[in-house]
Amino acid sequence: MSKPTILVVEDDLGLREALVDTLLLGGYRCLEASDGAEALIQLGQHKPAMVISDIQMAGMDGLALLKAIRTKDLNIPVLLMTAYGTIDAAVEAMRCGANDYLAKPFAPEVLLHQVERYLLAPAAEVPQPVVADPASLRLLALAERVAQSDASVMITGPSGSGKEVLARYLHQCSGRAEAPFVAINCAAIPENMLEATLFGYEKGAFTGAVSACAGKFEQAQGGTILLDEITEMDLGLQSKLLRVLQEREVERLGSRKTLRLDVRVLATSNRDLKEAVAQGGFREDLFYRLNVFPLNWLPLNQRPGDIVPLAEHLIARHQRGRGAVPQLSAAARDKLEGHGWPGNVRELENVVQRALILCVGDTIGADDLFIDTLELPMAAPSVTVEEPRSDSLGDELKIQEHQIIVDALSQNGGSRKAVAEQLGISPRTLRYKLAKMREMGIELPA
């Protein structure tokens, strides 16, 4: 498989080199530019598969570069990097057509994970989900058969269970494998930006739409779109989505030109969809349209046969390019199999990453597996969120936020509605934050 090329635009030479090193280790090729103007020259001469650019740069900055790229109507994925805390810049970036943004500082794995959302990791041939438990083997066999059709697929399962992995696998096994796979997380995009992000817009369609921008559906033309966490979409937008799916055509905001779509639709949710429909939060007709073929991941603790093979796979993945791959001792395997995994595979991945830092030699022992420290007693009146020590302001704030949410849940007897009201955030934002906390292995008061 040929390696995709990424154009890295950053005026800080040290940081640019670090980014390039990470991407090279991840198996990509790189082009470099120190500002937007140089990047445009590179774009004119080469055809990179993606652009990763800083926002603040002397000369032509990242937003100006992004606007220039979108004005040329290039559909190339653009990932912008913002300084920590400059949320306005991040919103502006999404509004101008950035595919995503990364808040600095970020770990190398975060960068590679973001890139993999748009480009298939070159080191991995077909990213086959690791399965060994009989229930998961059946699910994968079913997915392989479903992949051959063009049917919409709804992938359900708790947070961190592997829904996106399965969606990518469906795409890879389908006749669309060579065409784009475009994933959009409906919960992570600000509500007022989701419509424009999905369907695209013309210049002037709304304040701030300084240039035309293709939407995710357009970007996925000929391939597959993944609507991640679809139940987080508001009802108004659900109706518009339904129309696009029924008519198989899309209109950019502010345009009357319709574009015929040839896109396979996959969706995921970690909520009980029937319940969401019954409660009026999810349209029944959209549910039936997307749920043509449902696939469901069980929580990790209900497919115990997957735990050790997954741990071994994740150890190998995170050790790639760093020498010999450590093995799990018998006690370590027992410890992994004995844990409840409220954060599912993502929690397992965190534990594995920590173990790789802690283990000495070529064996991961039970003591290298830090799993219990992050668990909180269920429904404790006031509990302390223990997280790995960190000196960065961002992590400190997150720890405080988690503590506030846990305390509010305890005070309100676990009522999500009451907690959202007390904290002055929308139920949707609260659900998103709780899902992220669960992924970190934080057990929440019931």
Ligand X SMILES: Nc1ncnc2c1ncn2[C@@H]1O[C@H](COP(=O)(O)OP(=O)(O)OP(=O)(O)O)[C@@H](O)[C@H]1O
**Which residues are near ligand X by CB under 6 A?**
129-131, 157, 159-165, 228, 268, 270, 310, 313, 345-346, 349, 435, 439
Task: Supply the minimum distance, in Å, between the C-beta of residue 216 and ligand X.
Answer: 16
Task: Supply the minimum distance, in Å, between the C-beta of residue 221 and ligand X.
Answer: 24
For residues 334 and 336, give the distance between their C-alpha atoms in angstroms, rounded to a whole number: 5
Task: Supply the minimum distance, in Å, between the C-beta of residue 346 and ligand X.
Answer: 4
Select 34 or 268, whichever has its Cβ closest to ligand X.
Answer: 268
Select 118 or 201, whichever has its Cβ closest to ligand X.
Answer: 118
Q: Where are the beta strands (DSSP E) in 42-197?
A: 50-54, 78-82, 100-103, 153-156, 181-185
Amino acid at the residue 360: V
Q: Where are the beta strands (DSSP E) in 258-394?
A: 258-260, 264-269, 293-296, 327-328, 363-364
Select 65 or 314, whichever has its Cβ closest to ligand X.
Answer: 314
Q: What is the CA radius of gyration of the chain?
A: 22
Select 241 or 310, whichever has its Cβ closest to ligand X.
Answer: 310
Select 333 or 346, whichever has its Cβ closest to ligand X.
Answer: 346
Select 10 or 349, whichever has its Cβ closest to ligand X.
Answer: 349
Select 50 or 437, whichever has its Cβ closest to ligand X.
Answer: 437
Task: Supply the minimum distance, in Å, between the C-beta of residue 212 and ligand X.
Answer: 30
Task: Supply the minimum distance, in Å, between the C-beta of residue 263 and ligand X.
Answer: 20
For residues 438 and 308, give the distance between their C-alpha atoms in angstroms, rounded to a whole number: 21
Ordered DSSP codes for 33-61: ESSHHHHHHHHHH---SEEEEES--SSS-
Answer yes or no: are the C-beta atoms of 73 and 212 closer than 8 Å.
yes
End-to-end CA distance of the chain: 47
Burial 46-66 (b: 16+ CB within 10 A, else e): eebbbbbbbbebeebbbbbbb
Q: Where are the beta strands (DSSP E) in 109-238?
A: 153-156, 181-185, 200-201, 213-214, 224-228
Helix (H, G, I), strand (E, B) or coil at 214: strand
What residue number has its CB nearest to ligand X? 162
Question: Within a 10 A sphere around the Cβ of 41, how many other Cβ atoms?
Answer: 11
Select 169 or 287, whichever has its Cβ closest to ligand X.
Answer: 169
Q: What are phi and psi of 170, to 5 degrees?
A: -55, -45
CA-based nearest residue to 337, from 329, 378, 128: 329
Select 252 or 303, whichever has its Cβ closest to ligand X.
Answer: 303
Question: Within a 10 A sphere around the Cβ of 439, how many other Cβ atoms?
Answer: 19
Task: Supply the minimum distance, in Å, between the C-beta of residue 286 and ligand X.
Answer: 19
Helix (H, G, I), strand (E, B) or coil at 370: coil
Select 92 or 439, whichever has its Cβ closest to ligand X.
Answer: 439
Amino acid at the residue 17: E
Task: Supply the minimum distance, in Å, between the C-beta of residue 169 and ligand X.
Answer: 9
Select 15 or 112, whichever has its Cβ closest to ligand X.
Answer: 112
Task: Supply the minimum distance, in Å, between the C-beta of residue 435 and ligand X.
Answer: 6
| Long-range contacts, 10-14 (Cβ 8 Å, 24+) | 10/34, 10/53, 10/54, 10/57, 10/81, 11/35, 11/54, 11/57, 11/58, 11/59, 12/54
